[in-house]
Amino acid sequence: MTMTEQKQGYLAASMAYIWWGLAPIYFKALHHVAAMEILMHRIAWCVPTVILMMWILKQPLAIRAVWKNQKVFWALVLSTVLVSNNWFIFTWAVVNDRVLDTSLGYFINPLLSILLGVVLLKETMNKWQWFAVAVAALAVAYQIIMLGQVPWLSLALALTFALYGLVRKQTAVDSLNGLLVETLIAFPVAFIFISYQLGQPQSSFLNVGIETDLLLMAGGLITATPLILFAIGAKRLPLFVIGFLQFIAPTMTFILAIVVYREPFNFDKAITFGLIWLALAIYIVDGLIKRLRRRKAA
């Protein structure tokens, strides 16, 4: 791989995570729209957006091939359910002033992915990885004890995205065709919902104003663009680099929540985040040490 391609990979992957980190700004602009309506428009407008982008990038459609391979098709049905739930939870959280919870969820996500690999794929973890997961569990336990509530929103975001990543990792389809098939699977539900809503007073689309309509229609672009950038970056960068860059998004949402949206951040929440960051530091340092050892052995 040339240095130019690697630079393109860094740029594309970084832009993808920055895009995801700034996503709350888009959803905050639609705070007056119900989360379910936002989700349905996001799914509906994603279909033509992805098809257009694939045409521009000259990437062939693989819909027929996916349909013929029933194992891949049903895996994408499962991934559709998971990603749709993830999108809804994130959207609901942002429009209900819970951006900080989304940040916590995506900080927990990589540690939960490791644990799922052990439980479902029979992968092994070393003592430092186990320690990192234990520290993350301590953070959750601390919030339950001190705040008297389970961080269900953060855990639901982390779990749905970790399971989605697990399913897609084992599904033989590229990211764009996978996204297209997922949105096509969900499209009938979105179409029926939007069609029914149009005749109801609670519908925001075509009832509030042109700005709201355009923002809802932009949902497809908001969804597809970072996935394309991520796909470009993932092809050109080592996995450990992607692992580092993934923390850009929750760090940005954390800053947005505290600095821009002024969400409450007390001592107990600081302890929870501090423990999660400690767990991630252990996870990252352990990964770096293993990589250095492999390079020396090579």
b/e sequence 113-151, b meaning 16+ C-beta within 10 Å: bbbbbeeeeeeeeeeebebbbebbebbbebbeeeeeeeb
Residue 45 has pLDDT above 70, yes or no: yes
How far is residue 129's CA from residue 290's CA, in Å, rounded to a whole number?
A: 12
Residue 239 has pLDDT above 70, yes or no: no
Tokens of 88: 């809804």
How far is residue 11's CA from residue 126's CA, in Å, rounded to a whole number?
A: 32
Tokens of 133: 């997961």
Dump pLDDT digits (tens) for 148-193.
778 899 999 999 988 988 888 888 888 889 989 999 999 999 999 9
Helix axes 210-217, 219-236, angle to 10 degrees: 30
Residues 6+ apart with CB under 8 A from 124: 118
- The pTM (predicted TM-score) of the whole model is 0.89
Amino acid making up residue 178: G
Dump pLDDT digits (tens) for 98-157.
999 999 999 988 888 888 888 887 778 888 888 988 998 898 898 888 877 788 999 999
Cα 292 from chain centre? 29
Instruction: Decide: 37 and 208 in contact? Cβ < 8 Å.
Output: no
Dihedral over alpha carbons 245, 250, 256, 261 (to 10 degrees) = 170
Residues 6+ apart with CB under 8 A from 21: 248, 249, 250, 251, 252, 253, 256
Which parts of the chain are beta strand (E)? none
